[in-house]
Amino acid sequence: MTAARRAVVLGGGLAGVLAAAALARHVPEVVVVERDRYPEGPEPRTGVPQARHTHVLMDGGARAMERVLPGVTGQLVAAGAHRHGMPDGVVMLSPQGWLERFPGRRYAYSCSRALLDWTVRQQAFKNGRITVTERSEAVGLLGGPGAVTGVRLRDRDTGGEHELEAGFVVDATGRGSHAPRWLAALGLPEVEEEVVDSGQAYATRVFRAPAGAEQGFPMVNVLAAPGTGRPGCGAALLPIEEGRWMVTLGGTRGGEPPTDEEGYARFVRHAVRHPLVADLIEAAEPLGPIRGSRSSANRRRRFDRLPSWPAGLVVTGDAATTFNPVYGHGMSVAARCAVVLDEVLRRYGPVPDAAVRAQRGIGRAAQDAWVIATTQDVLYPDAVGPRPGGALRLQRRFVDRSVRVATRNPAVSAALIDSFTLARPFTTLARPSALVHTALGPRGEPLAAPPLTAWERRFLPGR
């Protein structure tokens, strides 16, 4: 089969830009089709409401980005992002207690989503093989059930349509992807879809960090506790660029955080399991309005299970699998999917038949994050989605015990962080060094108070 001379990426968000960077290693011309206009700098993009909430780039995702765009994480830190050790750089209340801050070998990066997207775009678009078409959107695929040969595009300003032929088409249009409908129009069967929705809502505000806390402050995460019969309420404080803190409150169905000032303050102090975040923001200056969002359902379209798949088409990122943002895995999975695309093209060449291998690999790349999110989210009151079967219930109990042991045990903590940051497979929790400690049980009671350093406690009220 003839190697593709042109690839088209639909969607210029993070998943699309990373896919374009991967494709540009193998295809002479890559066209990114973006429905809006990119901002001139690191500002939120139109049509991406979740960009105004906290985002974490996990270790596994950062490593994947580096494979596709070498040097990008260094550029991110140079632009103001914070690099946190895991778990030593995070103060976390897990459902089973405070996690002791053992020295770690994994990292997470915190910054605004706008800065991350801007940095990735700047790095990727240095490649002369990539061009961008703004204010344009796909309205259908060219080809048939056996092969996709291009796309039909509409200019959003003039309404005019034209066809663009391509040997590879990558759909990275996000949660609103029309890929199932487009495939049906080509004569392919209906795409199976799985949904788990806890009804999670978010409320986020940005603060000026207190004087002296602009650099070196840890991430703070008070996680919700599933399985209690009550809505899950949590809070996350992330240091971001320009000496700011971004604070996101989250609550599942029946416990949604308010977006008015009084309600926000009441929720962070009384609905969240511990008032640490409320205490920390007492001395922080609010910098803008409180912004809400409800786009939190976990949704997986099983393109990888179709009995036949058209050559030349790949669906990636949120267009294939979306996650509740509370777990911080969406960006990392998008990066892992770009690595899958790069590896498949390196092994088989940029031929349309490589698409089916890439699509199956993308399904596998999302599996661990899917299990982590859905086995927790389905436990909250009035959650939508199938309850886990016997095997998954046993797995969840094992994970709960592992988390309890990890609060005080460095070996199990390391395995848990390896899995949670997507640096290693979920099965890492069952490796012998961790399994033995999990079987023996915890080394005493969880910590009674947040594991803050003396310097960090200076920023609590009355200290």
pTM of the model: 0.95
Q: Give the residue among 290, 202, 281, 297 at the shortest CA–CA distance from 237.
A: 281
DSSP β-ladder status, 193-196 and 97-98: unpaired
What local confidence, expressed as pLDDT, does residue 463 receive? 62
Average pLDDT over every residue of 230-254: 97
Q: Does residue 1 have a pLDDT over 60?
A: no
User: Could you give the CA distance from residue 99 to residue 207 in angstroms, rounded to a whole number?
Assistant: 25
Low-confidence winner among 24-33, 47-56, 196-205, 400-409 (lowest mean pLDDT): 47-56
pLDDT tens-digit map of 348-383: 998 889 999 999 999 999 999 999 999 899 999 999
What local confidence, expressed as pLDDT, does residue 127 receive? 97
Q: Does residue 2 have a pLDDT over 60?
A: yes
pLDDT tens-digit map of 395-439: 777 888 888 998 999 999 999 999 999 999 988 887 887 888 888
What local confidence, expressed as pLDDT, does residue 435 receive? 82
Q: Does residue 461 have a pLDDT over 60?
A: yes
**Mean pLDDT of the residues in the chain:** 93
What local confidence, expressed as pLDDT, does residue 52 receive? 86
* Sign of the dihedral through C-alpha 270, 273, 275, 278: negative
* Sign of the dihedral through C-alpha 98, 102, 107, 112: positive
DSSP β-ladder status, 29-33 and 90-94: unpaired
pLDDT band at residue 462 under the 50/70/90 scheme = confident
Per-residue CA distances from 451 to 40, 341, 406, 442, 455 (Å): 41, 41, 14, 18, 12
H or E element, residue 338: helix 330-348
Low-confidence winner among 231-245, 281-295, 402-416, 438-452 (lowest mean pLDDT): 438-452
User: Could you give the CA distance from residue 353 to residue 299 in angstroms, rounded to a whole number?
Assistant: 27
Per-residue CA distances from 84 to 69, 121, 138 (Å): 21, 23, 39
pLDDT band at residue 49 under the 50/70/90 scheme = low
User: Could you give the CA distance from residue 182 to residue 67 in angstroms, rounded to a whole number?
Assistant: 31
**Axis crossing angle, helix 367-377 with helix 354-365, rounded to the nearest 10:** 40
Q: Give the residue among 95, 376, 383 at the shortest CA–CA distance from 254.
A: 383
Q: Does residue 387 have a pLDDT over 80?
A: no
User: Could you give the CA distance from residue 177 to residue 181 in angstroms, rounded to a whole number?
Assistant: 9
User: Could you give the CA distance from residue 258 to residue 56 in angstroms, rounded to a whole number?
Assistant: 23
Q: Does residue 388 have a pLDDT over 80?
A: no
pLDDT band at residue 294 under the 50/70/90 scheme = confident
- Tell the residue number behind the tokens 């990122």, with chain if given: 317
pLDDT tens-digit map of 80-101: 999 999 999 999 999 999 999 9
User: Could you give the CA distance from residue 335 to residue 345 in angstroms, rounded to a whole number?
Assistant: 16
What local confidence, expressed as pLDDT, does residue 17 receive? 98
What local confidence, expressed as pLDDT, does residue 32 receive? 98
